[in-house]
């Protein structure tokens, strides 16, 4: 097996981050041969958007051997600016919930972090430093451990999507 040189650019960064609740998904089908997953939402459900400061969204993945085989650990961190009631109300709804995260990078690659058996979890902390120039807002961290790598969406997104203008992007 061979890895060849990539074509086109290799732009860093993730934008946007989308999430859904495990219970909003009708089916999550993974083809382990291609590493492509298909998600079908329950009627009336879809992705929710979570805005993060540009260049603040960071995804780390680690693979390591475990007694049962390989273990894949993913951590997605993001900064949501400004301490606002609207943001905190949305973030509280994510607490202790089973989440599937769709992270779309600036190359248009979309990956699903979490699934119906092994979802992601959210933690967060409010940061209000003493300096005026410092960051003011929430640091949110999504984490999960899985027996297989995070799945890819069925197709590359030619233009990474942004939330529609008519929805609130707290």
The string of pLDDT tens digits covering residues 8-62 is 665 667 877 899 999 999 999 999 999 999 999 999 999 999 988 878 899 999 9
**Percent of the chain at pLDDT exceeding 90:** 59
Split at pLDDT 50, 70, 90, the class of 169 is very low
Instruction: State residue 130's pLDDT score.
Output: 72
Residue 2 predicted with pLDDT over 90: no
User: Domain locations in the chain?
Assistant: 14-23+48-151
**Percent of the chain at pLDDT exceeding 70:** 82
Instruction: State residue 117's pLDDT score.
Output: 94
Instruction: State residue 153's pLDDT score.
Output: 92
Nearest one of 80, 77, 97, 99 to 88, comparing CA atoms = 80
116 SS3 class: coil
Both tokens of 165, joined, read 């203008």
Split at pLDDT 50, 70, 90, the class of 115 is very high
Least confident of 71-80, 122-131, 145-154: 122-131
Instruction: State residue 71's pLDDT score.
Output: 95
Task: Count CB-CB contacts under 10 A for residue 160.
Answer: 18
Both tokens of 8, joined, read 């086109």
Split at pLDDT 50, 70, 90, the class of 163 is low
Average pLDDT over residues 132-136: 71
Residue 108 predicted with pLDDT over 60: yes
Residue 112 predicted with pLDDT over 70: yes
Contacts of 124 (CB under 8 A, 6+ apart): 91, 138, 139, 140, 141
Instruction: State residue 164's pLDDT score.
Output: 52
């Amino acid at each position: 097996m061979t890895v060849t040189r990539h074509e086109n650019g290799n732009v860093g960064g993730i934008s946007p981050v989308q999430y859904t609740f495990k219970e909003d998904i009708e089916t999550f089908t993974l083809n382990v041969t291609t590493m492509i997953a298909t998600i079908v939402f329950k009627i009336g459900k879809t992705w929710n958007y979570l805005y993060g400061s540009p260049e603040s969204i960071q995804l780390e993945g680690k693979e390591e051997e475990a007694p049962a085989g390989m273990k894949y650990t993913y951590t997605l961190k993001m900064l949501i600016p400004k301490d606002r009631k609207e943001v905190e109300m949305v973030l509280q709804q994510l607490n202790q919930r089973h989440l599937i995260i769709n992270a779309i990078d600036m190359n248009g690659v979309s990956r699903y972090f979490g699934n119906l058996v092994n979802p992601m979890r959210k933690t967060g902390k409010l940061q209000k430093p003493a300096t005026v120039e410092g960051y003011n807002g929430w640091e949110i961290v999504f984490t999960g451990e899985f027996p297989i790598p995070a799945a890819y969406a069925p197709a590359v997104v030619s233009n990474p999507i942004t939330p529609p203008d008519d929805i609130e992007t707290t």
